[in-house]
């Protein structure tokens, strides 16, 4: 049933899907060409995936809010738990899609230096996405799309300006957060994925509790 709900979200966003697919390939090349520091590939991917996730997620939220989609879904065999779980699965599906298209972008933009990401960098990007949507989805579930859209829109809009500056500042200093955990390197590499899943699960449980008590 989750698959059908995710498919429903993709159909709701299909009007903009082709543009977003092109954006997912072109944007990393564009952002990288504008960034003049090492690790620009990671920043380009992260900015692109944040934009993609936010636009496509809110596209669906806006239409559901406009036509009362959540209330209608709850009159069908789909449970409230399923509706919330599908939102998190939808975010994960978009992330995977962005990652696959980013690899296509690296093939096109390799001449300017755009490079493939290693497993750890992908995990860090997923972790940041998990934190962002781990906060956004419960808040949006509680207060609705209209009341929350401006706050997160401003955050996303400022990302291309703030994030590169933060990364550049970080690289220009000798400040280094080094956790000397006595763990195998393989575990350290996959740890961001594990933390991302935990954040997603905690956020999903909170959203389910909020939605289960919500008067639709």
Q: Is residue 192 domain-resident?
A: yes
For every one of its 216 residues, what pLDDT tens digit does the chain have, with 9 covering 90 and above?
A: 778 888 888 888 888 888 888 999 999 999 888 876 667 888 899 999 998 999 899 888 888 887 777 777 777 777 888 889 999 999 999 999 999 999 999 999 888 888 899 999 999 999 999 999 999 999 999 888 888 878 777 877 777 777 777 777 766 666 555 555 677 778 888 999 999 999 999 999 999 999 988 776
Q: Is residue 78 domain-resident?
A: yes
Burial letters 7-46, b for 16+ CB under 10 A, else e: ebbbebbeeeeeebeebbbebbbebbeebeeeebbbbbbb
Under 8 Å between Cβ of 131 and 26 = no
Number of structural domains in the chain: 1
What is the domain range of residue 34? 1-165+184-213
Q: Is residue 170 domain-resident?
A: no
Q: Is residue 126 domain-resident?
A: yes
Q: Is residue 173 domain-resident?
A: no
Q: What is the pTM of this model?
A: 0.86
Q: Is residue 77 domain-resident?
A: yes
């Amino acid at each position: 049933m989750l698959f059908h709900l995710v498919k429903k979200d993709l159909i709701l966003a299909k009007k903009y899907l082709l543009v977003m697919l092109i954006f997912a390939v072109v944007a990393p090349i564009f952002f990288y060409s504008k960034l003049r520091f090492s690790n620009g590939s990671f920043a380009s991917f992260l900015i692109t995936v944040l934009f993609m996730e936010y636009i496509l997620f809110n596209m669906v939220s806006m239409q559901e809010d406009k036509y009362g989609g959540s209330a209608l879904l709850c009159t069908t065999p789909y449970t409230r738990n399923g509706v919330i779980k599908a939102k998190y699965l939808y975010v994960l599906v978009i992330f995977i899609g962005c990652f696959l298209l980013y690899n296509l972008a690296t093939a096109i933009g390799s001449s300017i230096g755009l490079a493939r990401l290693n497993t750890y960098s992908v995990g860090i990007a997923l972790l940041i996405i998990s934190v962002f949507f781990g906060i956004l989805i419960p808040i949006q579930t509680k207060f609705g799309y209209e009341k929350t859209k401006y706050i997160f829109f401003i955050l996303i809009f400022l990302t291309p300006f703030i994030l590169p500056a933060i990364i550049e500042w970080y690289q220009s200093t000798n400040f280094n957060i080094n956790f000397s955990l006595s763990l195998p390197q393989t575990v350290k590499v996959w740890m961001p994925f594990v933390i991302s899943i935990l954040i997603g699960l905690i956020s999903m449980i909170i959203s389910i509790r909020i939605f289960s008590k919500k008067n639709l």
